[in-house]
C-alpha cells in the first residue's frame, strides 16, 4: 500500500503496549530487507533515512525505493526523516513524499530547541505530517559536553511537548548512537523514563537502541572484521523501556553489523565470486533475520 504516517502507527503501539521498529536505510538492499522482514512478520514498520543517507542515495531515489517497497506489501510502512537539523530539509522531504519527520534541535538551548521545533511542527502539520522532536542529548554525535546535564528532564519535557505541539518525543535516558555505548555495565535510567511518561502523553522514542549482538560481532571477526569493545543496549532493558512508554525504537548500528557480516561471509566462502548481487543478497539475508528478531523483541508481530 502507499506510505502511511507515523501518527496512527505510534498511537496504536502506545495503546497496545508494544513498540514499532525504526530502521535506518541508505539503499535498495537494506530497504527491501527491512520491508520484507516486517511484511513476513505482519508488523508495521518505520523506514528511516537521515541527512547522510539522503546525501548518499539522493532524496528522490531513496523516497522512490521506499515507496515502491511499501506498495508491494499490505503492512503499514512509514518513511521517516531521521535527525534533521534544518527546516529546509524537512520541507524538501515532505515535498518528495516523506510521511514523518524529525527535527533535532536538541543540541541548542531549551528556548531555541522549542522555537525551532515549533516552526517545524507548523510547517509539517500544514501537510498533515507528524513531527518527532528531541529533548536532552545523547552522548556521542550530538555535541555532548562532559559534565553538562544531558538526560531529559521530565518537567521540561511536559512543557516542551505542550509548547511545540510535536507528535512524539525522543528522550535521553542513557543510550547513545553507534556501537560503543557504554564504558562499563549498560544501564538505562528507567526511573527517569517512568517520570517522563507520567508527564508526557505523546509516544516516546528511544534513539541509540542497537543491542550490538555479540554473536554477530564474534562471527564477523571470524570473517576478518576487527570489531573490539562494542557494547549495546541489552534486550532486557529495551523490554523495560517499552513497558515504560517507549513506542518507537531506533536501530541503525545493528543493521550495519548484520549487513557487513553477511557480505563478509559470502566473500570469504566464495572468493571467486564477483557478482555483487550474490554477496549483497547474503547481507540482506542477515538484515532480514535481525529485523525479525527486533520485531519479536518489540512485540509488534501480528499487530496489523
State the catalytic residues.
Answer: 82
CA dihedral of 97, 250, 56, 143, whole degrees rounded to 10: 120
Instruction: Pick from 2, 16, 17, 52 the residue near ligand G3H by CB under 6 A.
Output: 52
Which residues 206-225 are close enough to bind ligand G3H by CB under 6 A?
A: none
203, 194, 294, 100: CA torsion to nearest 10: 20
Q: Among ligand G3H, ligand 13P, Zn ion, none, what does residue 238 contact (CB within 5–8 Å per kind)?
A: none
Residue list 18-37, contact with ligand G3H (CB under 6 A): 24
Q: Does 80 bind ligand 13P (CB under 6 A)?
A: no
Residues 170-199 that bind ligand G3H (CB under 6 A): 177
C-alpha cell, 57: 542515495
Q: By C-beta, is 3 or 53 nearer to ligand G3H?
A: 53
The minimum distance between CB 80 and ligand G3H, in angstroms, equals: 11
List beta partners, residue 278: none
CA dihedral of 106, 107, 112, 117, whole degrees rounded to 10: -30
d(CA 236, CA 245): 15
Contact of residue 25 among ligand 13P, ligand G3H, Zn ion, none (CB under 5-8 Å per partner type):
none
- Binding status of residue 137 toward Zn ion by CB under 5 A: no
Closest by CA to 245, choosing from 18, 7, 80, 9, is 18
- Distance, in Å, from the CA atom of 214 to the CA atom of 298, rounded to the nearest integer, reads 19
Q: Which residues here bind ligand G3H, judged by CB under 6 A? A: 24, 50, 52-53, 82-83, 177, 252
Q: Which residues here bind ligand 13P, judged by CB under 6 A? A: 24, 82-83, 177-178, 207-210, 250-254
Amino acid at each position: 500500500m502507499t506510505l502511511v504516517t507515523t501518527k496512527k502507527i505510534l498511537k496504536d503501539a502506545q495503546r497496545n503496549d508494544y513498540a514499532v521498529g525504526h530502521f535506518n536505510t541508505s539503499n535498495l538492499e537494506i530497504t527491501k530487507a527491512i520491508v520484507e522482514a516486517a511484511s513476513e512478520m505482519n508488523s508495521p514498520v518505520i523506514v528511516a533515512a537521515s541527512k547522510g543517507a539522503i546525501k548518499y542515495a539522493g532524496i528522490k531515489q531513496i523516497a522512490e525505493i521506499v515507496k515502491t517497497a511499501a506498495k508491494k506489501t499490505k503492512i503499514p510502512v512509514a518513511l521517516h526523516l531521521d535527525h534533521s537539523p534544518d527546516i529546509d530539509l524537512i520541507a524538501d522531504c515532505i515535498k518528495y513524499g516523506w510521511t514523518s519527520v524529525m527535527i533535532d534541535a536538541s543540541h541548542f538551548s531549551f528556548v531555541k530547541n522549542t522555537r525551532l521545533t515549533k516552526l517545524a511542527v507548523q510547517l509539517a502539520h500544514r501537510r498533515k505530517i507528524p513531527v518527532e522532536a528531541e529533548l536532552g542529548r545523547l552522548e556521542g554525535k550530538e555535541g555532548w559536553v562532559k559534565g553538562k546535564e544531558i538526560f531529559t528532564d521530565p518537567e521540561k519535557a511536559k512543557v516542551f511537548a505542550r509548547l511545540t505541539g510535536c507528535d512524539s518525543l525522543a528522550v535521553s535516558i542513557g543510550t547513545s548512537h553507534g556501537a560503543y555505548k557504554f564504558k562499563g555495565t549498560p544501564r538505562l535510567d528507567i526511573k527517569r523514563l517512568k517520570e517522563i511518561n507520567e508527564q508526557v502523553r505523546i509516544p516516546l522514542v528511544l534513539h541509540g537502541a542497537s543491542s550490538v549482538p555479540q554473536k554477530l560481532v564474534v562471527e564477523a571477526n571470524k570473517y576478518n572484521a576487527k570489531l573490539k569493545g562494542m557494547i549495546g543496549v541489552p534486550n532486557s532493558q529495551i523490554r523495560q523501556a517499552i513497558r515504560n512508554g517507549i513506542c518507537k525504537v531506533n536501530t541503525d548500528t545493528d543493521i550495519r553489523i548484520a549487513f557487513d557480516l553477511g557480505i563478509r561471509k559470502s566473500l570469504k566462502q566464495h572468493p571467486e565470486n564477483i557478482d555483487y548481487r550474490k554477496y549483497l543478497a547474503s547481507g540482506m539475508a542477515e538484515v532480514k533475520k535481525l529485523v525479525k528478531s527486533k520485531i519479536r523483541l518489540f512485540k509488534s508481530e501480528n499487530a496489523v
